Structure 1
Amino acid sequence: MHLAWPLVGRAQEMRVIEAAIADPALSGIVIGGMAGVGKSRIARDVLASAASKGYPTRWAVATSSARKLPAGAFAEWAESTAIDSLQLVRGIVRRLTAASPDAPTVIGVDDVALLDDLSTFVVHHIAQRRAAKLVLTVRSGEPIPAATQEIWRNGQFDRLDLQPLSQREITTLLMQTLGGPVDPDAVRRMWALTRGNVLYLRNIVEQEVADGRLADHHGHWRWVGDPVIPSGLLEMVESRLSTLPAPVSEVIDTLAVSEPLELASLTRITSAAAVEDAETRGLVTLNSVDGRVEVRVAHPLYGEVRKLRAPATRLRRLRGLVACDLADCDDGNDLRTVVRRAVLTLDSDLEPDPHLLVTAAGIG
């Protein structure tokens, strides 16, 4: 079954981007957001809308592989006769910005932080000259080279930070994509697993439909059984987590085995610097609950992927560390904490504590 995914819940964002394109005082707009939130999709849709109104458009995608080549992202517009970098840049700019007298060219650049130095200079040059309108996407929580930041610091750019879809918007998207009403429990489960990340949602829904767990029952879509995270989605999430510094990985894995954790507890188990780094990278969230600060992974799939991919010995060690820290806390004998400690201990590297297990069983 082929599923067509409409753009849902982005009407206001589309208007903001289109207004930036139409504003003569602006060089363009920067669209920020977490991976999978829909930056590329909305940027492409804006360019399609601009093309339908007579604007010449260009679309370039920056990638890690193209970054190894000078002006790699704009190879399609490079002149083969260029004899040096200056001629190469001039030729690319000329071809990119060629426009009709009535409308400027609109250029979209996806993942602008991955541009090589020469491609970055091309975009910077276009922005400074106002030679075209620029729609740039950038991933939140990832390092951005200083040269890339200069593009919007020195130019006149609007900024739009794209948020995940709400649960209501997810409901609408699922109904329009699947072509019928969706069981509320299925929507809640999808929301809990994806947190409104459209790319994650799409991968999971298409896998579940293909495997028959998400199916149309007499005109009503129901989801039965446990979801299987698609291999492509696993690799996508893992690619972000696999390159993290070891202390930050320790933070994510600790939360994966037992979230939420109080900030003080997580800091004792890992380190304050590692937790701060994880927060800066957008990998964890902090929330005040009853006067205490609780920490969770920023997206449920981060924890799910790490539980699948991290070595079992590592996860057992971390469960033991969390269980020991909970035992030393002021509320270590709280009923809920006792049960939590017992569950962690059972699958940890700690020796079984018969008294703890009996107490927890009595509470249960």
Structure 2
Amino acid sequence: MRDWAFVGRAGELARLITTATDQRRGGLILSGAAGVGKSRLLREAVATLDPGGYAVLTAAASVAACGLPFGGLAQVLPPDPPAGLSQAGLLRWALDILRAEAAGRPIVLAVDDAHLLDPASAALAHLLVRQGATLLATLRGAAPVPPPIGALWTEGLVGHAELSPLDAAGSQELLAAMLGGPVEAGSAQRLTELASGNPLMLRELVQAARGGGEMTRAYGVWRWTGRLTLAPSLADLVDAHIGGLAPAVRDVVELVAFGEPIGLPSLLAVADPAAVEVAEERELIRVHGDGRRRPARLAHPLYGEVVRRQCPVSRTRRLLATLADLVERTGARRRDDLLRVAVWRLDSGTAQDGARLLDAAAQAFGRLDLTLTHRLAAAARDAGAGYPATELLATALLLAGRPHEAQAALDRGERQDGSADAASGRPVALRATVAFWGLGQAGAADDLAAATVTEPGAAAQVRAVEAVMRLQLNQLERARELTAAVLSAPAAGASARNLAHCAQALLAAASGHPRHSADLIARIQADAPAWWRDSPALHFLLPVTVGTRVSVALDLAALDEILTAEFADLAQTGGFGFGTGWVALLQAHSARLRGRTADALRAAEQACAALSAHGRYEGLGHAARALSAAVRGDLALATSAMASAEAAGGACERLFYPWHATARAWTAACAGDLTGAVRVLTELAGRLRTDGFAGYELLAWHDVVRLGRAELAADRMAALVAEVPGGPAAPLLLRHARAAATHDPGALYAVARDFAAHGYLVFAAEAAATALRLFRAVRDPRALAANQVLADALAACDTLGTPPLRSVQPALTSRERQVAELAAAGARSREIADSLFLSPRTVENHLQRVYAKLGVSGRTELAPALRSLPQ
């Protein structure tokens, strides 16, 4: 991991290169914090310069050489200067030597860590710039600058820029480059936040995590356990940033490390104001503008990790108690003050009652911070908060993918609390929930059915949980009966009713009624405070329902909205593996529809990693991986992923049989077995019709259209679109089917354009390809327009290898391709012949064969036709 691809910084790199190659600019000096990437950026810029055109002089100043005359530029000067020269004479000697070596080429002097240059070297650099050389240099942000170097930009001879930390996207790209593969979204976010845009910090974090066994890889995706390993090199690096601290300043840094964000007035009330000023001046803390409170934070997240670990236990407990007292005295006005005080009280060992700990645990659970919920709920249980604490603890463990621990927590709670809550039905429902969604025990639904719960409200809750289990087991009739019974029960509480509404919403989505499904989902989400803690089953069913609605409706706008919503971030960063997996599945679906097949495959692999860590629904991730690979034409990967999907699919995945069957069909199509693929899809459509899943059925029949058998699908698709509202794509799918069934190239061309306008680029490319084939068969001049639509769609996509596209991609020989590309670029036959050492007649013969293969009539049609071919 010592070297990795250079990522990000495209603008800064371009500016450096432009400066180096434009002698009028004089140079550019970059300053920034240690480790922010200045040195690598300088090396990348210098590497682009042609030594034949520029005299490139590179030097790295150091502490060891800063006391020696010309020590900073020793790498570019002869080792033995003439004896007896004055300082001015030595300067002139060095200047003459460098100019002589340049031999008339423009001089580019690249100096890393120029703030460490000795006076003689700094003076030489200054003089070189004044005489026409270009200086590219880096400086440590807060370090004193040698006067000759500082004078260069104050006098306007060179430019000066501050190099900012990498943004989140650049940091995550660098992280993937360091590890040689994609990183699970939550892990990437946490690591890049800790590094705070500093590449050196990120490298040390990753090295420490890998060395400590805290980075694991599954399905090609890296995942961090979240346990921070501070290797000595990382601690030393942070210590070098912090430096030796006076006791009063250390107190300030420690208070902020344990209490951030802490309001400036509060900090000044418990710390020495002068020490606070010193800490801010040294950029150890930063005070942000945020209304009257003006919170103080550490200048870098890793400062806090090091300071907290180095702080003695006794002082840690005293500081935390001080912070808790401070916030409580001011009235705990902020939304998260309750949570922060509870954690401080817990860690400091000061008094805290179970009820407050439980309230804090509930607040942590509201953020899906499952690790903190687990900790606080366990403390609340131990402090006597009773069964509600046990319930929340078990729920957090279940959602975190630790069902056996959840089961053990319920066992312990039952021993401690007895059967006091048995009448409520909640222990019965929760234990079954853990068994079903955590352990994959399909029999949990039968256990619930056999449970005797007399209290009407509790009975409704038990029946609601059983209903969603029956739904996921694809026992649809029983699920519908239970759902209706719950909604008709006057005693049913908010949790039970929302579970029933969620089941209805899922059925509506599958049945082709996305608007009704959306209305029910909105009602459930608005009522979240009433069920968030009490209904863990809903945390599993609701993401499935939301995902099903947008996926079956092919609603790209709604998909984008979900992927940018708060839940996606909470699921990915809070440890909710199931939620993370569903978000990744939706990302794969969205990318696949848009033709971004590489992104789709990466997202499917992330889904596999997240769902395998959770322990359930892994088969869905493999099915998505198989489908993405099949669309790309990668038969080996599609076949192996499909085998994994078949092996992993359990009883709890029975409801998702449409996705498994679809992946199976496209894997067969990728292998060239179109008859088998169509058979799988028609059998799937029949089963979906029996189950009343018209939304899924429409998609299955459209896949039959895409595989070239529109005559089997068009009439049934017309009936479906007439029966159910469907999603925004339904009319387009039907138009595609009718045009393909009647072999109408004009209608196929029109629907291809509309598919592209709505973002369905794979469908657009396939429809355009079919139109193009039909136009070519009759020598219709509209083939050029269809070719253009196809080329534009493919240009916006990654690799695609579906059957309709393979059918219009004739193979050109390498020589035919060379000739065609030159002709498309405007070269005449004689010019092509001269450049390829051919005769003009041979060039014309090649072109005639190309025209015949591509179905075009001349040179003007070559460019779009060539863009529609695989590279």
Per the TM superposition, whether the score is higher than 0.5 is yes
Aligned to 1:270: 271
Aligned to 2:68: 69
Report SS of the residue matched to 1:288: coil
Specify the code of the residue in structure 1 equivalent to 2:296.
Answer: V
Does residue 13 of the first structure (1) align with residue 18 of the second (2)?
Answer: no
Aligned-partner Cα distance in 2 for 1:26–1:321:
56
CA RMSD of aligned residues (A): 2.9
- Cα deviations by residue, 1:91-114 (Å, 9 ceiling, x for unpaired): 333344545456312111112222
Matches within 5 A, 1:1-364: 2=1, 4-51=3-50, 54-76=53-75, 77=77, 78-83=79-84, 84-98=86-100, 100=102, 103-130=105-132, 132-144=133-145, 146=147, 148-224=149-225, 226-244=227-245, 247-289=248-290, 291-312=292-313, 314-329=315-330, 331-332=331-332, 336-337=336-337, 340-341=340-341, 343-344=343-344, 354=351, 360-361=356-357, 363-364=359-360
Aligned-partner Cα distance in 1 for 2:251–2:148:
31
- Cα deviations by residue, 1:247-273 (Å, 9 ceiling, x for unpaired): 544332221122111122223333444
Q: 1:229 to 1:344 in 2, by over 3 A?
A: same
Q: 1:259 to 1:213 in 2, by over 3 A?
A: same
Give the structure with the higher percent strand: 1
Specify the code of the residue in structure 2 equivalent to 1:340.
Answer: R
Contact in 1 for aligned 2:119/2:146 (Cα 8 Å): no
Q: 1:102 to 1:87 in 2, by over 3 A?
A: closer
| TM-superposed deviation, 1:214 | 1.9
Specify the code of the residue in structure 1 equivalent to 2:26.
Answer: S
Give the structure with the higher percent helix: 2
Structure 2: runs of 5 or more not aligned: 361-871
Specify the code of the residue in structure 1 equivalent to 2:96.
Answer: R
Structure 1: runs of 5 or more not aligned: none
Contact in 2 for aligned 1:30/1:160 (Cα 8 Å): yes
Report SS of the residue matched to 1:228: coil
- Cα deviations by residue, 1:112-155 (Å, 9 ceiling, x for unpaired): 2222222222222223333x211111122334455542232235
- Greater shift, 105-114 or 85-94, is seen at 85-94
Report SS of the residue matched to 1:66: coil
Aligned-partner Cα distance in 2 for 1:138–1:45:
17
Between structure 1 and structure 2, the one with the greater Rg is 2
- Cα deviations by residue, 1:262-294 (Å, 9 ceiling, x for unpaired): 122223333444434433433333333465311
- Greater shift, 34-43 or 145-154, is seen at 145-154
Aligned-partner Cα distance in 2 for 1:333–1:176:
44
| TM-superposed deviation, 1:300 | 0.5
Aligned-partner Cα distance in 2 for 1:31–1:149:
12
Aligned-partner Cα distance in 2 for 1:267–1:144:
33
Aligned-partner Cα distance in 1 for 2:247–2:16:
38
User: TM-score by structure 2 length?
Assistant: 0.38
Moved over 6 A (4+): none
Q: 1:167 to 1:358 in 2, by over 3 A?
A: same
| TM-superposed deviation, 1:198 | 0.8
Contact in 2 for aligned 1:30/1:135 (Cα 8 Å): yes
Aligned-partner Cα distance in 2 for 1:48–1:173:
20
Q: 1:221 to 1:87 in 2, by over 3 A?
A: same
| TM-superposed deviation, 1:17 | 1.2
Q: 1:119 to 1:360 in 2, by over 3 A?
A: farther
Q: 1:10 to 1:317 in 2, by over 3 A?
A: same
Aligned-partner Cα distance in 2 for 1:337–1:182:
33
| TM-superposed deviation, 1:224 | 2.5
| TM-superposed deviation, 1:361 | 3.1
| TM-superposed deviation, 1:36 | 0.8
| TM-superposed deviation, 1:313 | 5.1
Aligned-partner Cα distance in 1 for 2:114–2:245:
21
Report SS of the residue matched to 1:68: coil
Contact in 2 for aligned 1:40/1:137 (Cα 8 Å): yes
| TM-superposed deviation, 1:308 | 2.6
| TM-superposed deviation, 1:221 | 1.9
Report SS of the residue matched to 1:67: coil
Aligned-partner Cα distance in 1 for 2:314–2:70:
45
Report SS of the residue matched to 2:30: strand
Contact in 2 for aligned 1:332/1:338 (Cα 8 Å): yes
Larger relative contact order (Cα-Cα within 8 Å, sequence gap ≥ 6)? 1
Name the % identity.
32
Report SS of the residue matched to 1:164: coil
Aligned pairs, number: 357
Q: 1:313 to 1:128 in 2, by over 3 A?
A: farther
Specify the code of the residue in structure 1 equivalent to 2:9.
Answer: R
Q: 1:122 to 1:104 in 2, by over 3 A?
A: same
Specify the code of the residue in structure 1 equivalent to 2:37.
Answer: G
Specify the code of the residue in structure 2 equivalent to 1:216.
Answer: R
| TM-superposed deviation, 1:43 | 0.6
Q: 1:151 to 1:224 in 2, by over 3 A?
A: same
Contact in 2 for aligned 1:29/1:136 (Cα 8 Å): yes
Contact in 1 for aligned 2:72/2:116 (Cα 8 Å): no
Q: 1:301 to 1:97 in 2, by over 3 A?
A: farther
Contact in 2 for aligned 1:74/1:92 (Cα 8 Å): no
